[in-house]
Structure 1
């Protein structure tokens, strides 16, 4: 068996992205519904799939395993239903194009660190 996708150069620069975490049932169900955009990203946990019904904008979705390794990245327009990823434990959502700008691609590990509350707020609430 192969070793999987190349995670990029050793010592690649880390990027700090404002992040909200949706861990409660209510927060996971709401996600980015009803907002016009997001500054940074939303981590939905636990989660294996998402939908974009009632969403107002196109999003990038990164499916992460339990160690925050990226399994797949998809761009989803409003009104779509994503396929479940059985190995996924978390989903990272951001505005379309963000994952590519941030270098989030299959095989990369996403590092999550604590930051003060309120740094990544949805727009349009």
Structure 2
């Protein structure tokens, strides 16, 4: 599955994985050594994240029910808590440095 910024018609990730169950969200990216540069992880439902037990920095996109970007965090280092956005319904985690051109208000799409 691909992650696309519909507002700018840009592919953000070629390999979007989904974490939509309790256990897949719980595990997330913990204990992984790295993340491929073309990958992303979509956590749903989710309002906030942490990077405890992670070994690399990530960029984070917070989405509302309409998949509009309501928050962005760049270069979130291991061992930190992310922001909590009241209007967020899901979160996308990407390798650090991948959020160029993504802004609040953009709409993201998930495509096969």
Supply the RMSD in Å over aligned alpha carbons.
1.6
Aligned to 2:86: 86
| 3-state DSSP of counterpart to 2:106 | coil
Aligned match of 1:24 in 18, 21, 26? 21
Alignment pair present for 1:104 and 2:102: yes
For 2:57 and 2:33, locate their aligned partners in 1 and report how far apart those are by CA, in whole Å.
Answer: 10
Q: List runs of 5+ in structure 1 lacking aligned partners.
A: 1-6, 115-125
Aligned to 2:60: 61
Shift in Å, 1:79: 0.6
- Return the index of the structure with the highest Cα Rg: 1
| 3-state DSSP of counterpart to 2:52 | coil
| 3-state DSSP of counterpart to 1:111 | strand
For 1:105 and 1:33, locate their aligned partners in 2 and report how far apart those are by CA, in whole Å.
Answer: 27
TM-score normalised by L of structure 2:
0.84
Q: List runs of 5+ in structure 2 lacking aligned partners.
A: 1-5
Task: Tell me the alpha carbon deviations over residues 27-83 of structure 1, each in whole angstroms, 9 at most, x when there is no partner.
Answer: 000111111222210000000000001110000010000111011110211110112
For 2:14 and 2:68, locate their aligned partners in 1 and report how far apart those are by CA, in whole Å.
Answer: 17
TM-score normalised by L of structure 1:
0.76
Shift in Å, 1:17: 2.5
For 1:77 and 1:106, locate their aligned partners in 2 and report how far apart those are by CA, in whole Å.
Answer: 21
Aligned to 1:47: 46
